[in-house]
Chains A and B, each alone.
Chain A
């Protein structure tokens, strides 16, 4: 195995760390990397597509196991809708495999570039979290290799403690080598989408709460700049699957070419260049202009049909959109709050961001429900994800503000999600997981990884 010193960064391009790159092709390769790490006194982190906004797949000065070479879909049972994959298989590979046969991944992220290994390690959720839970709830079983060399097969019945700890375990107990997932049956390649405006935060949250039971997916866009009465205004997109018979020609709409996002706008302009044109707008004034235009355009309530891929993978619509945030990159701050406290907490946070003149440039809200995984981020309530631009001048101020946000979220019984937040301290982490949970995870860690070989920059930050 080759070990080249390589500079890695995160999805937001806001953090860089150099590590020794290793690209295993099998479980044996992973085990030899563990043995080498032990001999050299180094630590190991697995990396999929590097789509975390924080330091989850970074391990500065250690070994990074990039699993992109383990990307085979090893079994597809189209009668039952069960698929077995290696950890480096991306959601893009997965949906393209199952969709033409009338199935869809039950839980997907906002980009299709993520790998299943990464999705399980973070226990991702989608716009249907309130209904379908996290991706972990659709895992039939998985096999993982531990740093001890033991290969463990886990399901909700077998090795259940490891099953509920490794999913969402940030890759710190072992490395997935095979994942079996249950797909969801669909009767059309299209979704029926309703879009409507919401005038302020209260209406936004009410729409999510009230709308969720009526739909299969629901998501809100929040304007981070509007203040006063319009604080927290935005637009809701809610979608439902089409029932059997609603789509006259499902074979046609489920074809891959009718799903994928066109690479050019109006057939001529290559979207790969689009991020250069967005760049001049990633500042307070530009975002105000875009948000206002977007809000006005959304005032007309409308209903339309959209392909699954177009509805879900918004982040892929503009390739490399994250580059438009400039040299400092961006960070995402996502907080999960119980439905009782969300409105007051976010009102306080939004007002703080306006006082500091550090509004977020993209805000996304979702409806959530709790789950039974050990390191869970979910609550019976809502989440709000905010994208902030990082620049030389704003760093210190933004840092102070986010510490204040952490305090507000904790005081309101909220939680955080470690595919996103990059600034959460060890103290905050301990406070929201609770001592018991952290101790339980620590005990499992000791059992699976007695020499402490699995460590990421994220792990050192939140459990350091």
Chain B
């Protein structure tokens, strides 16, 4: 109604210029979720999927142009504001508490966080690169802690909520190709397991997702063969199904569960001689 008086109009409390998500009602319920690392790959596809399933979303990434394009792609066809964009570098930990508060106010609550920000700097088989290793741990692991620890506290108090962490099969064993990446993902897997053990008793679900190879930008950086690679769409299908069923841990593609079972139990005396 364009001719309606707007006696209550004011800028949103967070001072954002984006439209606010439509209010939730019992007949049009809205779950509210944050996706950290949403601009491309699995993140972008998951954002599309969750918006279609009725979520209001805060999409976080470093690249503003990609975020805005994605938000438009989501909001325009639905003809309402379902996705909001927030530019943020997951390694900028100091920014998190304020940004989180702002997002929760903008969304009108919080039911879900998906952490999938990840960087990968393979050093090469015979090279060592501390700067790359450090960056991977800073984003993939400490970035996750910076977001998930305040959210875990909120969910524990609220006695509800869902945390999804995108780790990797690479965290299951330390291998020759990329020690820093293996470490960051092993740390993330363990961190998520610890959160799960803390939070399950408070009614909070923690889902660890371990993708194998996914056909994204990151895969182009990988060296060697990439067996059982899945499309981001297939990975998102698996993740969404696991979220609905409130699972604890999934591999995508699921065959990695059996591959990693063998690899995890392979004696070091053999494993250290392999080129895998």
Interface residues of A (CB under 8 A from B): 4-7, 12, 14-19, 40-43, 55, 60-62, 328-329, 331, 390, 395-396, 398-399, 402, 422-423, 426-427, 430, 435, 438-439, 441-443, 445-446, 452, 455, 457, 459-461, 463-464
Contact (Cβ within 8 A) B108 A60: yes
Determine which of B7, B13, B26, B109 lies in contact with A60 in the assembled complex, contact meaning CB atoms within 8 Å.
B109
Say yes or no: is B15 at the interface (Cβ < 8 Å to chain A): yes
Q: How far is the CB of A461 from chain B (nearest CB, A)?
A: 4
9 A-B pairs closest in CB distance = A442-B7, A60-B108, A60-B109, A14-B26, A399-B27, A5-B154, A61-B104, A61-B105, A7-B158
Cβ distance B156 to chain A, nearest Cβ, rounded Å: 9
- Asked whether B4 lies within 8 Å of A40 as measured between CB atoms, the reply is no
Question: Within the assembled complex, what's the spacing in Å between the Cα atoms of A18 and B105?
Answer: 10
What number of B residues sit within 8 Å (CB to CB) of A? Answer: 35
A61 to B14, CA, bound (A): 11
Decide: A41 near B109, CB < 8 A? Known: A331-B27, A390-B27, A442-B7. Answer: no
Enumerate 30 A-B pairs (CB-CB under 8 Å) in ascending A order.
Answer: A5-B154, A5-B155, A7-B158, A7-B159, A7-B160, A12-B26, A14-B26, A17-B109, A18-B110, A18-B158, A41-B101, A43-B13, A60-B24, A60-B109, A61-B104, A61-B106, A61-B107, A331-B27, A395-B26, A396-B27, A422-B26, A426-B1, A427-B4, A442-B5, A442-B8, A455-B13, A457-B23, A457-B24, A461-B25, A464-B8
From B23, B29, B32, B102, A460 is in contact (CB under 8 Å) with B23
* Interface class of chain A by DSSP: mixed
Interface centre among B20, B106, B110 (most CB of A within 10 A): B110
Is A15 a contact of B13 with CB atoms below 8 Å? Answer: no
* B1-48, CB < 8 A from A: 1, 4-5, 7-8, 10, 13-15, 20, 23-29, 32
Q: Is B226 an interface residue (CB 8 A)?
A: no
State whether the Cβ of B157 lies closer than 8 Å to any Cβ in chain A.
yes
Bound-state CA distance A438–B106 (Å) is 25
**A15 to B25 alpha-carbon distance, docked (Å):** 7
Q: Given the complex, which residues of B lie within 8 Å of A5, measured CB to CB?
A: 153-155, 157-158
Residues of B within 8 A of A16 (CB): 109, 160
Q: Considering the chains assembled together, what is the distance between the CA atoms of A211 and B109 in angstroms?
A: 47
Contact digits for B231-244, partner A, Cβ 8 Å, 1 yes 0 no: 00000000000000
* Chain B residues whose C-beta falls within 8 Å of the C-beta of A438 in the assembled complex: 5, 7
Map CB proximity to A onto B107-127 as digits: 1 under 8 Å, 0 otherwise: 111110000000000000000
CB pair B26–A61 under 8 Å, yes or no, is: no
Separation of A452 and B155 alpha carbons in the complex (Å): 28
A19:B109 contact, CB within 8 angstroms: yes
Chain A residues whose C-beta falls within 8 Å of the C-beta of B1 in the assembled complex: 426-427, 430
Complex partner residue of A17 from B7, B108, B155, CB under 8 angstroms: B108
Q: Are A41 and B8 in contact (CB under 8 A)?
A: no
Residues in A neighbouring B108, C-beta threshold 8 A: 17, 60-61, 457, 460
Q: Inside 8 A of A328's CB, which chain B residues have their CB?
A: 26
Determine which of A15, A329, A439 lies in contact with B5 in the assembled complex, contact meaning CB atoms within 8 Å: A439
- Which of A4, A62, A390, A422 is close to B157, meaning CB atoms less than 8 Å apart? A4
Contacts of B155 in A (CB 8 A): 5
Residues of A within 8 A of B154 (CB): 5, 18
**Chain B residues with CB below 8 A from A427, complex form:** 1, 4
Which chain B residue shows the least CB distance to A329?
B26
Chain A residues with Cβ below 8 Å from B4 are: 426-427, 430, 435
Do B23 and A41 touch across chains, with their CB atoms under 8 A apart? no
Task: Report the Cα distance A445→B108, complex, angstroms.
Answer: 22
Contact call B27/A61, Cβ cutoff below 8 A: no
Q: Which chain A positions have C-beta within 8 A of B29?
A: 15, 395
Please name 8 further chain A to chain B contacts, defined as beta carbons within 8 Å, in addition to the given A18-B110, A331-B27, A460-B23, sorted by A numbering: A5-B158, A18-B109, A18-B111, A61-B107, A430-B1, A438-B5, A445-B8, A463-B8
* Contact among A15, A41, A42, A464 for B24, CB-based, below 8 A: A15
A422 touches B25 (CB 8 A): yes
Interface centre among A61, A402, A455 (most CB of B within 10 A): A61
B7 and A443 contact, CB distance less than 8 A: yes
- Give the CA-CA distance A127 to B271 in the complex, in Å: 80
Q: Are B157 and A423 in contact (CB under 8 A)?
A: no
**Closest-CB distance, A320 to chain B (whole angstroms):** 18
Asked if residues A399 and B28 are in contact (CB atoms below 8 Å), the reply is yes
Contact residues in A for B101 (Cβ distance below 8 Å) = 40-42
